[in-house]
Structure formats: structure tokens, C-alpha cells
Structure 1
């Protein structure tokens, strides 16, 4: 795409704000649905006789459905644009919400959960693909952070607010309401989001061309540099926020369930504030020439120190240290828009979807893997708190290793950039 044509695609400020708010509202709902099973688990267990294994699989069903769509969705986003893709996917989310409201067994709940995960899998990738064309690079960094902030708001809303609504409308009524909200979101998106004009893209590659698929993405050195921290550090941050911080507070730090719920509420609020702050400062950092990979390189080690401290302190590590770990891990969230900016605009959908698949694969592996490690360490006869500490120590070692791999790729990027400037 030429510079002039790229400039012509930028949205007017008023339109840009409207588009962002509509997409942000939809992503808020998707994050709420993603995290809602933790709040509903006691009710669903009592009503449908679900075991802990059922609940774990039910929570994972969302991520399974999410992962199923990522690679084909990236190509559809590049070809058809965010508007058409997100509307088609949200129709599946409506169907999944209705199916969940009508479910009367574990397997019908699971099928509905998978369908809902598929339907909501475009709620972040679609706007980020559009922002790659419609917003300037500095604004993209801001809007990416603020989209993640709305996701944190959705996770906050999935805790105490949902708990307050349950006695009023019940969990089935809640999902009927969510289905209606998704329909309203579709109407708002159809009204406000610009169409995807093909002339603004580079010529479409031939069907059999590697660059028409994901070869261009996987071969890119910048993308490969971000993969280790995306999988381990970013995926680990989400795994902790969505699952493991809660059991640690109860099993290791000695919190009551109510105290742990308040701790999770505080962690999610901290994440919300962190992403809001990134949205404010990112344009200023971009204007000063401070690049995302440099911020990750110098900032992410803070999270490594904190996770090692958590494993070391054990019962003395409460919600505050977990909040500090999650907040200091948000440096790695800058990798998502950076990957899109590093690749051609016509490949933005594929780049973002491929990287999102990396992140959510990390979430799934770490949510499961930390639990397996806790169980496996029982062979040493350790107490439950010590097994949690051992599993977190192994996770910390993996995070340090992933950062080391990133550091090696980052230094190469810096050397190549310096050589280009000298030339």
C-alpha cells in the first residue's frame, strides 16, 4: 500500500471514536462471557451435578472453540474485512448463548460453550485488523491497550456484578440477556464500522501462493522473536489472572473464599488501571521513538523477579504480589500491535490471528500444565502449599527461559536496525 493510500484510509476523529467504542463494548461482553464460568460454577454444579473435572472442561471449551477459528479467521479478515467477519461470528455467539440458556446437561453446556467461544473469537482480532488501516501507528498502540482495558472491565463485571444478578434473573436469564446484548452489538457494528474496500489492499496473492496463507507470517523474524514471550509470559499472565491466582490465595496464602474473590476483584481492577495507563502513555512513547520491543526487553524482567518472589515467599505472597505480577507482565501486551505493525497491512488479520493463537495456546497449556505439576509433585510427599510453590517455581523458570529467547531475537533486531541506519 502506498503512503498516500494508507493516509486516505485513516478515519476522521469522530468516526474513529465511534468505531472504537462499539468494538470495545463488544469485546467487553466477550471478556465477561470468557470469565463467567468461575462465578457460575457453584450454581451449575448444584443444579446439574457437575464435578470439578466437568467444570474444568467447561471452562476450557471456550478456549477450544476460540482456537478452532483463529487461522481461517485471519485470512477471512484480510479478505473480507472486520465488519463482515465479526458480524458472521457474533451470530454464532448469539446461538451459543441461547443454547447455553436452554442446556439441561453437561454435554449440551459444553457444546454451547464451544460454539460461544467460536463466535466471540473475532471480538479482538477484528478491531485490531481494522485499526491497522484506520488509525496511525501511535494511536494503534493506544487503542490496543484500551481494548485490553475493556477486557479487564469485562472480567471485573463477571465477578461480583454477575453474583448480584444471579438471584434476580438466574443463570439462564443471564444468558438470554447476553444473547440480546450481542444482537444489539451486531446492530451497532453494522451501522458504525466502515466497509472493507479491496482497492486499499495490496493485490491479492494467488490461492496457492505461500504468502496467501501463513508462510509470510511464520517466516518473519519479528514474529518469531515475539512467540516465546507471547506463549509463556502473555499466556501465563492470562492463566494466572483467570485461574491460578484464586486457588493460590486459598490453598497457600490461607484466604477464605470470600477474601480470595475480593483479591481477584482487586487484581482485575489493577489490570484495568494498567491497560488504561498504557493507552495514555503509548502515543507519547512512540513519538519519542521508544519501540515496543525495547519496552518489553527492559520492563518484562520486573515480572520475572516478582514470580520468583511469589514462589519463594509462599504463604506470605497474597493478592498484592499477584497483582504486581500481572501488572508488570502487561509490558508483553505491547507485542500484539507491534506484530501487526511489523508486517504488511494486507497481512494484518493473519498476523494478529496467528499471534493470538500463540497466546491462547499458552493460556491453555499453562492452565492445564500448572495443575498437572501440582498433582505430579505429590510423588515427593510435599504438602499442598509446597506443591503449589513448586509448580509456580517451574512456571517462573519457563518464563525466564522464554524471555532469554526473546532477548536473543531482540538484540538481533537492534543490530539489524543499527546496520540499516548506518547504511
Structure 2
């Protein structure tokens, strides 16, 4: 059963999805703008990685208080408060005249959109039954892929006419409109019995994460969330673009077209998960089994990219990102491992793990590239070596996932 009728569930999803679309566009736009920002501000690979990672640093910094606030105040109030920071961050980025200004604005943008996925997932945990939650989660991620598609060729086409600064004025306006839609449409509270018959947020337990951190299922999923999920987002939102330009030798417009392909493939992958995951769940195909079978495909693809070097282009990175989407199933599964009254904290804690991984991988790959070049490797070899280190970390995290015990039936 669900606590929202079909029409209410759809319009609520769409209101949240509108905000998440622009959140994802904001997240991924650095990859498309990387040649321009590198030229305008003379950025090194380390600085570019830190700039992109600043978004995720701000994002990750809010996740622990965010989870408590979601459980206590409900998703509507929380997301409206946070989106005001997204408006301010967008405007600050458009006015920045130095790397420090860009970085500070990027952190503020990360803070501002940090509730755009957690708020709807927390609401869905109380408003929808388990199969509907799996579908809504996948289709919310699909909406994010729409935003990432919009951050590629459309942004590149607008650049000659507008420049990059007015694009951020438009993003500020979009966030204002999304706030209006959420204020008008989304239910004001998620109190009441959850879809599994347990209380939702009528009684909120003390604001602690102890139960979340100690949960064996959370601990089992955390390493693959950090390295595999976080690393996939780091590649999708930043390093696939520089790889195509600096390893593959593509001009910026063709690299943007490659990013368009990657994000379009991700969009299709999440649409398919939304269509088929409820059916798989009803047939007893667990999340753990899907991850165990599917995630190794991404390791094979990533190893092939390292070997291929300059020959690995957009379709290779698209294959890596699509095969990595198996790990995205962990997010709703972690939320459903906890009672609805703890859902906000559980989801936000896991999101913290993921986006801490994004920050570390985005900045870390940049550090490795600069470090390998300082050690004497050519630029192409430095990129390949950095990605090989990422692959090794992902394989180790997968090994822990296979060996750890979680006392669950998922």
C-alpha cells in the first residue's frame, strides 16, 4: 500500500524531480566547463579536481545534520531551507574572479542541493511501499541523468552565445522555481504509519547515528558506496571529460558530445532499473545478489580502459558508468534496512559515505595525475596509472562486500 494516491504520488515525485534535475546539472557542469575554467583561471589538474570536489565536500558536510532534520521536521521544510543556499551559491559562482571564489561558491552550491535526493527518498520511505520505493529511487536517479545530459552538449552550445557566468544566473532562477513547486505540491509532513505498518515520524527517537553506524548491513555496503559508487560519480561528473580531451585528444565540443553519450546511457540504465527492479524484488532477486553478479562487470570495463588508453573514448566510459549502476541499488536497500523513523539518518549517512568518496576520488585522481607526472610519467601514462589505482581500490571494496556479514536477507 501507499499513503499517497497515485496522482498525489506522481505530482510529488515531479516536484522533487524538478529540483533534482538542476541539482544534477549543477553537479556535472564542471566536466563540460573544465576546458574553459582551466584556461580562464590557469588551473592545474589538482586544482580542477579540488574545484569539482568542493561541491561534494559541501554536500558531504551537511549529511549528518540533514538526516536528523529530515527525521524531525520532514522533507518539505528541510529541502526548502537548503535550496536557498543553492540560489546563493549559483549567484556567487557567476561572480567569482579567482580560484578561491570559485571554490567557496562551489562548496555553497553543494550545501544547497544536498537535500535534493535525500528529502524525496526519506519521504518515499514513509509514503510508498517497498517496490514503489525501488522504482521511485531509480527514476529519481534517471532524472539526475537528465540533468547531467543537459550539462553536456546543451551547455556547450550555449557557451558561445552566453558565456559561463549567465548560465549560473539561470540556475539560480531554476532553484527559485523549484522551491515554489515544492512549497505548493509536496505534503507538509511524513507523519503517520509507514507502508510497513510501523510508525513513521510521529515519535522521533533521539538524534543519534549510533544505530546506523553499528548496523552490519550499513557497514557491509559502506566501502562499495565510497569507492565504487563515489568513484563512478567522480568519473561521470569530472574525469571522463579531461580523459577525452587530454588522453584521447578530442576538442572540447567533441568531449561534450562524449559526455552527452555517457549521461544518456546512464539515463537509460536508471529507467531500466526503475522498470524492472520491482519485478526482480517480487521474484526474490535480492539487491545483494544483483550487486555481487553485476558490479564486477565495471571492473572488467575499467581495466580495459586502462589498457586501451587513448583508444578509450565516450562509449568505453559509458560502459563503465552503466555497469557501475548495480551499486546504486544499495542506496534504497540501506534505507529499507531501518525503520521509517530512522530512514532520514540511514539514507543521509550512506549518502555521506558516497559523496565523501566522490570528493576523495575527484581530488585524489587529480593528485595522482600530477604526482605521476612529477615522477616522470607522460600525461597519458599518468592518467592511466591514476585510473588503475582507482580500479584497485574498487576491487578491494568489492572483496569486503563479498566477505562481510550483514545478518540480512537482502
Is residue 309 from structure 1 mapped to residue 301 from structure 2 by the alignment? no
RCO comparison, higher one (Cα < 8 Å, 6+): 2
State the alpha-carbon separation in 2 of the partners of residues 45 and 236 from structure 1: 22
State the alpha-carbon separation in 2 of the partners of residues 218 and 57 from structure 1: 28
Residues matched between the structures, number: 402
Is the contact made by 1:310 and 1:321 (CA closer than 8 Å) also made in structure 2? yes
**Which segments of 5 or more consecutive residues in structure 2 lack a partner in the other structure?**
193-199
Partner residue in 2 for 1:209: none
Is the contact made by 2:27 and 2:237 (CA closer than 8 Å) also made in structure 1? no
Partner residue in 2 for 1:236: 231
Label 1:191 to 1:367 Cα distance change in 2 as closer, same or farther (>3 A).
same
TM-score under structure 1 normalisation? 0.89
Any residues of structure 2 matched to 1:62-101 within 5 Å, and which? Answer: 62-101=55-94
Is the contact made by 2:28 and 2:237 (CA closer than 8 Å) also made in structure 1? yes
Local SS of the residue matching 2:62: helix
CA offset at residue 313 of structure 1? 2.7
CA offset at residue 112 of structure 1? 2.5
Q: CA RMSD in A?
A: 2.2
CA offset at residue 141 of structure 1? 0.8
Larger deviation, residues 52-61 vs 217-226? 52-61
Partner residue in 1 for 2:214: 219
- From 256, 260, 272, the equivalent of 1:261 is 256
Is residue 109 from structure 1 mapped to residue 102 from structure 2 by the alignment? yes
CA offset at residue 260 of structure 1? 2.5
Any residues of structure 2 matched to 1:147-162 within 5 Å, and which? Answer: 147-162=140-155
- From 12, 15, 34, the equivalent of 1:22 is 15
Any residues of structure 2 matched to 1:366-385 within 5 Å, and which? Answer: 366-378=361-373, 381-385=376-380
Is residue 297 from structure 1 mapped to residue 292 from structure 2 by the alignment? yes
Label 1:249 to 1:355 Cα distance change in 2 as closer, same or farther (>3 A).
same
Structure with higher helix content: 1
State the alpha-carbon separation in 1 of the partners of residues 398 and 204 from structure 2: 36
Is the contact made by 1:304 and 1:400 (CA closer than 8 Å) also made in structure 2? yes
Label 1:370 to 1:115 Cα distance change in 2 as closer, same or farther (>3 A).
closer
State the alpha-carbon separation in 2 of the partners of residues 17 and 79 from structure 1: 24
**Which segments of 5 or more consecutive residues in structure 1 lack a partner in the other structure?**
1-6, 207-211, 419-423
Is the contact made by 1:77 and 1:85 (CA closer than 8 Å) also made in structure 2? yes
State the alpha-carbon separation in 2 of the partners of residues 350 and 318 from structure 1: 39
Label 1:46 to 1:253 Cα distance change in 2 as closer, same or farther (>3 A).
closer
- From 338, 342, 345, the equivalent of 2:333 is 338
Asked which structure has the greater CA Rg, the reply is 1
State the alpha-carbon separation in 1 of the partners of residues 237 and 391 from structure 2: 17
Partner residue in 1 for 2:195: none
Is the contact made by 1:245 and 1:264 (CA closer than 8 Å) also made in structure 2? yes
CA offset at residue 396 of structure 1? 1.3
User: Deviations 1:23-47 (Å, cap 9, x if unpaired)?
Assistant: 1111000111122233344555666
State the alpha-carbon separation in 1 of the partners of residues 38 and 367 from structure 2: 23
Larger deviation, residues 366-375 vs 266-275? 366-375
CA offset at residue 266 of structure 1? 0.9
Is the contact made by 1:50 and 1:106 (CA closer than 8 Å) also made in structure 2? no
TM-score under structure 2 normalisation? 0.91
State the alpha-carbon separation in 1 of the partners of residues 406 and 386 from structure 2: 33
User: Deviations 1:294-315 (Å, cap 9, x if unpaired)?
Assistant: 1111111111111122222333
- From 359, 362, 366, the equivalent of 1:364 is 359
Partner residue in 2 for 1:203: 203
State the alpha-carbon separation in 1 of the partners of residues 178 and 409 from structure 2: 43
Is residue 189 from structure 1 mapped to residue 147 from structure 2 by the alignment? no
State the alpha-carbon separation in 2 of the partners of residues 317 and 279 from structure 1: 29
Is residue 144 from structure 1 mapped to residue 137 from structure 2 by the alignment? yes
Partner residue in 1 for 2:43: 51
State the alpha-carbon separation in 2 of the partners of residues 382 and 173 from structure 1: 39
CA offset at residue 104 of structure 1? 4.2
Is the contact made by 2:74 and 2:123 (CA closer than 8 Å) also made in structure 1? yes
Label 1:171 to 1:378 Cα distance change in 2 as closer, same or farther (>3 A).
closer
Larger deviation, residues 298-307 vs 316-325? 316-325
State the alpha-carbon separation in 2 of the partners of residues 59 and 281 from structure 1: 33
Label 1:335 to 1:55 Cα distance change in 2 as closer, same or farther (>3 A).
same
User: Deviations 1:77-123 (Å, cap 9, x if unpaired)?
Assistant: 00000000000111111222233334444433333322221111100
Is the contact made by 1:97 and 1:112 (CA closer than 8 Å) also made in structure 2? yes
